Amino acid sequence: MQGGYEFDSGRIWRPVVAPLAGLRAGRRPCQGSTGPEKRPIRRRRPMDLTTALAALKDGTLTARDLAEACIAARAERPEARDNPYVAFSAGLLRTQADAADIRRAAGQPLGDFDGIPLSLKDNYGTGTVCGGTWPVFAGSPRRLPPMWNQPGGVVSRLLGQGAVVTGKTRMVEFAFGGLGANGHWGTPRNPWDRDHHRVPGGSSTGAPLSLHEGSALLALGTDTAGSVRIPAAWNGLYGYKSARGHLATDGIVPLSPRLDTVGILALTADDLAHGYRLVTGTAIDPLMDPGVIRIGRAPAALWQDCSPGVVAAVDTALDRLTEVFRPVGSVTIPELDEALALFRRGGLAGAEIYGFLGQELPAWLSSLDAYVGPRIRASADVLDYDARVAFLDRFANGVQALFHDVDVVALPTVAITPPLLADLAEPSAYGRANLMALRNCCVANLGDMAAVTLPVGTDDAGCPVGLQLLAPRGADARLLAIAQAAAGYLVGED
């Protein structure tokens, strides 16, 4: 098994070659631009999904071994403030794992993923699993009615494959924000800054933290304007947002039915491919000839006003990828400026979540936290909703046409460094940071594209930077194959 692995205090680890050039160069972790130089944190990353699948298959490890490692990892970081979960049950985790081991011992596993532990965002319904269940809060202060805890297509498939749910991860209230702040449950720290409380990204806030601490091997989130890709990028992970309609969103508390998509966060690009196989049943075939892949550069508007070091890290990665892919220069996205302006005015999500709450959960409107409440209430009187939908239909069709001349479009995943939580106390400051965090990601949702983010380095503050690749609807599997090829090349760089 490549690299091998070892047990350490009940937690499973594997040696990792970090794909981030800044880390290989010994740069300090995310500390801010001032203060004394600190020694870099030397991390051992938890076992990845690919390694765990092989270990289960050859009998080196059991599902119970994996479950105990997840439980031990959670026990090492019990702080309420930084807990990735709103619900985590060691007992239910063990029960699921033992059931998987019984099936495997009898020669009747439900699939390759039988016994693999993964986390679910707090807006996914699960129903009852092995006699237990997890509540659904959707980031709100109280449990949602039982109708919102029914499993949809994605969860039904992963449970049918024997995947083990570790728990429900924290999120921005009703997924309406990209920074990860939540006034009800608290905002966990981004683990890349050991001295300051930086936000971890959202709205799938706890998903990357469950992977980072080793309490899950795969994390499922949702992405309406960047809610998987932002936390993945800000935590040095890989993230995938499906194209609209590619994966069912039933059984998930909605934010925007038009823009909501299912997404996956993972430790490696290979793990993303395995996660895609888990939720779709489709394996990702490796690219036979990466040299034919045409990679275009997103318009200048999506490279402007970035935090220091973000563009440099992405450009360095793209320069390397010109040796394996075929660069075709910058592309034009028709009506991009108009689409971004519409997003800044609230797009569709604000009006849709206000309508949903007013109809389905009216009692929740009065308890919305300060990060999302004012913005949701400000969307109550959107009078041009139909015109906005018509514009986005036209915009998405124009976006698909540009892929006649290019296979993927490249850009920074997030334009800015993860902000300090203390800097977001004023609503105007929160609003500016939130829009900048979402700017480069929302284009994929508005334009009905699939998207991935890959870690490619660090910015001038020492925080992770992501490279985002966009592909047209219907090209999800091919995009993940491209991401695997790109990651394999970048990780192999010295």
Task: Assign residue 369 the CATH number of its domain.
Answer: 3.90.1300.10
Region 291-316: what's the mean pLDDT? 98
* 337-383 tens-digit pLDDT: 999 999 999 999 999 999 999 999 999 999 999 999 999 999 988 98
Dist CA 61 CA 4 (whole Å): 13
pLDDT range class, residue 25, cuts 50, 70, 90? very low
Please give the positions annotated as active site.
Answer: 121, 203, 227
For residue 275, the cross-strand partners are none
pLDDT of residue 30: 67
Has residue 363 been placed in a domain?
yes
Q: Determine the Cα–Cα distance for residues 416 and 434; give it in Å rounded to an integer.
A: 10
Residue 332 lies in a domain: yes
State both tokens at 399.
């976006």
Q: What is the pLDDT of residue 79?
A: 79
- The reply to whether 475 falls in a domain is yes
Q: For residue 11, name the pLDDT band (cuts at 50, 70, 90).
A: very low
Residue 13, domain member (yes or no): yes
Binning pLDDT at 50, 70 and 90, where does residue 492 land?
low
- Residue showing tokens 């028709």: 334
DSSP 269-288: HHHHHHHHHHHHS-PPPPPS
Residue 121's domain comprises: 6-491
Query: Is 466 in contact with 255 (CB distance < 8 Å)?
Result: no
Does position 422 have pLDDT exceeding 90, yes or no? yes
Q: Is 12's pLDDT higher than 80? A: no
Spatial CB neighbours of 172, under 8 Å, sequence gap ≥ 6: 139, 178, 179, 180, 181, 182, 202, 203, 205, 227, 371, 372
More confident residue, 173 or 24: 173
Could you tell me if residue 1 is inside a domain?
no
Number of domains in the chain: 1
Spatial CA neighbour of 256 closest among 479, 468, 449, 442: 442
Which of 24-28, 109-113, 285-289 has the weakest average pLDDT? 24-28
Whether residue 314 lies inside any domain: the answer is yes
Judge whether 118 lies within some domain. yes
Direct distance between the N- and C-terminal alpha carbons of the chain, in angstroms, rounded to an integer: 22
Instruction: Kindly report, residue by residue over 91-117, the tens digit of the pLDDT.
Output: 999 999 999 999 999 999 999 999 999
Whole-number percent of the chain with pLDDT over 70? 90
pLDDT at res. 19: 33
- Is position 272 within any domain? yes
Mean pLDDT of 410-435: 97
